[in-house]
Amino acid sequence: MAKVEGHEDLAPQIFYPAKTTVCTEAFSRFLSAYHANLDFFFFVIQLVSHADQARVRAATALLPGASTDEERALYEKSIAEPKRVR
């Protein structure tokens, strides 16, 4: 089984064969779609992670300029709980 670069901890749990695997035509088509879908899944996860990091950076930058206690509390909550989903 091939290792997924950057996701070595998931390798035992996810079937990710090498792109050079020899197989039938039908299985080859399946693997082609499977690779594309799995690559897209990891791409989306990476985008979400970067969006979370950007949200925390923005809250940190905007906190000093908060004009109300409600606004300040919202920024502080984003900083204190970076993985929280609203």
Arithmetic mean of pLDDT, 45-60: 91
* pLDDT of res. 24: 86
pTM passes above 0.75: no
| Cα–Cα nearest to 19, from 40, 8, 4 | 4
* pLDDT of res. 82: 80
Task: Calculate ∠ Cα 34-35-37, nearest 5°.
Answer: 65
pLDDT tier, 13 (very low <50, low <70, confident <90, very high otherwise): low
* pLDDT of res. 71: 92
* pLDDT of res. 1: 46
Q: Which residues contact 84 (CB under 8 A, 6 or more apart)?
A: 77, 78
Q: Which residue has the higher pLDDT, 30 or 62?
A: 62
